[in-house]
Structure 1
Amino acid sequence: MRRYLIVGLGNPGAQYKLTRHNAGFLALDYVADQCGWLLNAEKWQGICGSGWLGEKQILLVKPQTFMNRSGECVARFTEYHRIQPEHILVLHDDLDLPFGKIKIVAKGGAGGHNGIRSLVQHLGTTDFVRLKIGIGRPPRNEEGQGMPVDCYVLSAFSEAELAMFNDRQPLMSEAVQLFISQGAEWCMNQINGRTP
């Protein structure tokens, strides 16, 4: 039986719920709801659940360790369920993509993302797949100054951003299901060309 692990990255706590850095949590909640997958248990410092897509078992996890320690939780699930890196999909925010852009990447470095850096460290590989959710970079004023990145990612979506994020969620759900049913390369070909 093939198992897949779908990970949403974010920070626990009500104060972080609608912040840009919690895009992965929000996306995973939406996908689970759309697919009828449960996400209501707690184990190994994560909120977790499971479901099925055809004959494939799907495991879901939202690490509750805070972003920069996400790998601790994910590694426990990966090791216990013996999940191959190419069967792991991580949903996370990305500063270098325009807001609302969705991109599937088969492997690669952390790109400055502390959650991905932790996963690479604890999984010992960069071969897991990522669903990157563009949040853009902080806007700059005429003097070229903008909000510091760490403050930007931990600040709440604007109303317009949240509306656009919600509008993109069906594409995120489609991407997750394509990844599981058809594989990363097919998913990339179908999803990455679509612009917000």
Structure 2
Amino acid sequence: MAEQPWLIVGLGNPGTQYERTRHNIGQMVVDELARRASAGFKSHKTNARVAEGRIVPGGPRLILAKPNTYMNTSGGPVAQLVRFYSLDPARLIVVHDELDIPFDTIKLKSGGGHGGHNGVRDIASAIGTPDFIRVRVGVGRPPGRTDAADHVLSPFTSAERQVLPNLVSDGADAVELVTTQGLVAAQQRYHAPS
């Protein structure tokens, strides 16, 4: 029996006003994976845009998805995708922004709490388990007394935009490493002290 594909979901908000915000970093990473796989996104009946492909010939099949819903209601489309493709939640990777990780840092984990991230909370509730892999892309805490919601919904600073292509590439590399060598190998690479 062929190995199950990986479902990789990039979290974000729909609409051009959110495209380049910190909250949409997950979708930016999934866009990079689609570029590497030469795969285009198409509308899917699960209320998401989906692209399928392989990054390396003979490598794992990737189902890349961007829900059409707002971040906080990502669970419905993700649960529908898991059912549509008959996947075990262990084959789900969710890529999302993370306030509690410094900007330009990647951390990975499987299961556990949602850490206040409403998109992750909604997915865990909708699929009935928190046991899926998260690629957490650090966007850092807001400066001063800036509200966290305002921070994640604002565009990257000009200094951050200089580094952003590398951060997106690192996020895509981390996902690739999980799908080819496993979570532990990816954690060892991205969690090692620099």
Q: TM-score range by the shorter chain?
A: over 0.9
- Residue in 2 aligned with 1:108? 112
Give the conservation status (yes or no) of the 8 Å contact 2:142–2:148.
Answer: yes
**2:134 aligns to what SS in structure 1?**
strand
Separation (CA, whole Å) in 2 of partners of 1:23 and 1:191: 17
- Residue in 2 aligned with 1:143? none
Under a length normalisation based on structure 2, what TM-score does the superposition of the two structures give?
0.92
Separation (CA, whole Å) in 2 of partners of 1:172 and 1:43: 27
Give the conservation status (yes or no) of the 8 Å contact 2:22–2:97.
Answer: yes
| 1:57, distance to aligned residue in structure 2 (A) | 1.9
Under a length normalisation based on structure 1, what TM-score does the superposition of the two structures give?
0.91
| 1:62, distance to aligned residue in structure 2 (A) | 0.3
Which structure 1 segments of 5+ residues have no match? 141-145
Separation (CA, whole Å) in 2 of partners of 1:77 and 1:7: 10
Which structure 2 segments of 5+ residues have no match? none
| 1:45, distance to aligned residue in structure 2 (A) | 1.1
Give the conservation status (yes or no) of the 8 Å contact 1:45–1:63.
Answer: yes
Give the conservation status (yes or no) of the 8 Å contact 2:25–2:168.
Answer: no
% same residue: 37
Give, as a single letter, the amino acid of the residue that structure 1 aligns with 2:158: E
RMSD: 1.4
- Residue in 2 aligned with 1:16? 18
Separation (CA, whole Å) in 2 of partners of 1:131 and 1:87: 13
Separation (CA, whole Å) in 2 of partners of 1:191 and 1:97: 12
Spell out the pairing of 1:1-196 with structure 2 (5 A cutoff): 1=2, 2-52=4-54, 53=56, 54-140=58-144, 146-193=145-192
Deviations 1:45-88 (A, max 9, x none): 11111012525221111001101110100000101111111111
| 1:34, distance to aligned residue in structure 2 (A) | 2.0
Give, as a single letter, the amino acid of the residue that structure 2 aligns with 1:112: G
Give, as a single letter, the amino acid of the residue that structure 1 aligns with 2:14: P
**1:56 aligns to what SS in structure 2?**
coil
Separation (CA, whole Å) in 1 of partners of 2:117 and 2:171: 19
Give the conservation status (yes or no) of the 8 Å contact 1:38–1:51.
Answer: no
Separation (CA, whole Å) in 2 of partners of 1:102 and 1:172: 7
Give the conservation status (yes or no) of the 8 Å contact 2:20–2:156.
Answer: yes
